[in-house]
Structure 1
C-alpha cells in the first residue's frame, strides 16, 4: 500500500510539474528591416524584438524564442503552416487570407525630410503642392507615393524622383544638395542619422541642414499567425489572447513609447509643425 501511495503521489507531482512547464514557441522575424527588426550575429534585434520580448516576459506559460529569417522565407513558412508566427507584417487580410494578426504593436510613419533652406522658403507641410520643382529621393523598392496629384505632377515633370540603395546614401545625397527631399520611414531615417552622427559624419554642422516635414502615411506592424496546419499549434488561441493582453498593458504603461525612444533619440533636428500631406504608401512591403 505504501508503495502504491508513493507511486500515486509521484504521478500527481509529475503531472503538476508538467502542467507548469512553459510551452516552447518559436517566432520568426524579419532579418533585414532595421531598426524595427534585423539580425546581428544571428540574434534578433530591433524595436519590435524589444517590445515583443518585453511582452513575452509577461507570459509565464510560454518560453518564446525569436529567429530572424529573410522576409519572403518567413511569409512562405506561415503560408505553408510550417511556422507559427512572424513579425512585423502589416494588416493585409485580402492578400494573406492564411494569416491572423495580433493587436497593432507599433505605428510606422512615412515622412518627408527636406533641406533646411527649402523648408524656410516653402510651406512644406502642404504635400505635394509645395514641392513643385524639387528632386525627391526614394529608396529602391519603395512603393511609389500614392497621392494622385503627386502622380500627375511627376508625369508632368513638375517634380523628379531619384533612387538610391539605402537610407545612408539618400541622406548623403540630401546633405550634398543632390536631392531636395528624402521620403521614407521616419524611425528608419532617425536611426540612420543617429548612426551617422555618432560616426562623426555631421560633426562640423550637426543636423541644421535638415528639417523633418509632414507625415504622409502610416501603417501598424503586428505579430502574424499562420491559419494553416493549426493542429500543430494547439496553444494558438491562448497565446494570441495572452499576447494581446500583454501588448495592451505595455501600451497603457508607456513601455512601448519608452522603448521606441531608444531608436529616435536624435534631438538635433529643427522643430517644425508636423502637417499632414496628401498621402504616400508605406516604405516597404510588409
Structure 2
C-alpha cells in the first residue's frame, strides 16, 4: 500500500486524543479497515482543521477525516465512506429567539464560521457573507457579546465545543439546517482508483459488522 499520511482533527466523538493517542469512532473504524485490508496500523496525527485541509489539497499522499462530502467539494477529492451522517446548520442563542423562514433570511444576520469548513462554504456559495473565526469557541463568545447573531458549523463540532466550555447544548437553537451530509475519509485526487476501491470495500465490510454497531453504542452516537 502507498505510504499515506493520515490527518484528523479534535472532533469528539469522531476523533480526539487520549494520552496523546488518536481515538474516536472514525479512528477506530479506520483501524478495523486496515485489519480487513491486511495492512499494519499507521500513525494518525491530530492537527488543526485548516492545516489538514490544506495538506490534503497539496500532498498527494494525504488522507483527512472526518470530512463532509458535499456538492461543493465533490470533485476536489476522492472519497471513501460514509462513516456516519452529520448535519450542517446555522445556530443562534436560544434566549434571543431569532427566526429564519428561508435561506435568504440568514442574510439579515451577522454569521461567523470556520475557514474552509463545509458549513461556511455552503453559506458563502449561497451569497451569504460569513465572518471567519479562528475557533468555534471564539465564535460562541462573539455571539454571547452580540458581535454576531449566529454561527454556522456542524452538530458534532458544536456539541464538542460546548462541552469543553462547560455549557449545555440547550443554550443553543437551530436557526436553519443547511444540509444533512455524510462524513467521509477524503483522499487526494491523485490517489489511485484501485486503492480507493480497497478502502471502500474494507469500510463496507466494517459497517456491516457487529463491531460498527458496538462502536456507535460505545461513543454514544
Q: Does 1:115 align with 2:93?
A: yes
Change (3 A) 1:213 1:31: same
2: CA distance, partners of 1:136 / 1:85: 30
Q: How does 1:177-196 map to 2 (within 5 A)?
A: 177-196=146-165
The Cα shift of 1:180 comes to 1.5
Residue in 2 that maps onto 1:63: 40
The Cα shift of 1:195 comes to 0.6
Q: Contact (CA 8 Å) 1:30, 1:38: kept in 2 or not? A: no
Choose between structure 1 and 2 for higher RCO, CA contacts under 8 A separated by at least 6 residues: 2
2:181 counterpart SS class? strand
1:105 counterpart SS class? strand
Q: How does 1:1-286 map to 2 (within 5 A)?
A: 28-32=5-9, 34-35=11-12, 36-37=14-15, 43-56=21-34, 59=36, 61-68=38-45, 70-71=51-52, 72-77=54-59, 79=60, 83=61, 86-89=64-67, 91=69, 92=73, 94-96=75-77, 99=78, 101-119=79-97, 122-124=98-100, 126-131=101-106, 133-141=108-116, 142-143=120-121, 145-146=123-124, 148=126, 151=127, 161-197=130-166, 202=167, 209-224=171-186, 238=198, 240-249=200-209, 254-255=213-214, 257-258=216-217, 261=220
2: CA distance, partners of 1:64 / 1:135: 44
2:175 counterpart SS class? strand
How many residues are aligned here? 209
1:22-60 Cα deviation digits (max 9, x unpaired): xx8865332445344466776434442133235555x28
Q: TM-score, normalised by structure 2?
A: 0.68
Q: TM-score, normalised by structure 1?
A: 0.55
Structure index of larger Rg: 1
* Structure 2 segments unaligned to the other structure (5+ residues): none
* Structure 1 segments unaligned to the other structure (5+ residues): 1-23, 155-159, 263-286
Higher normalized helix content (fraction of residues): 2
1:104 counterpart SS class? strand
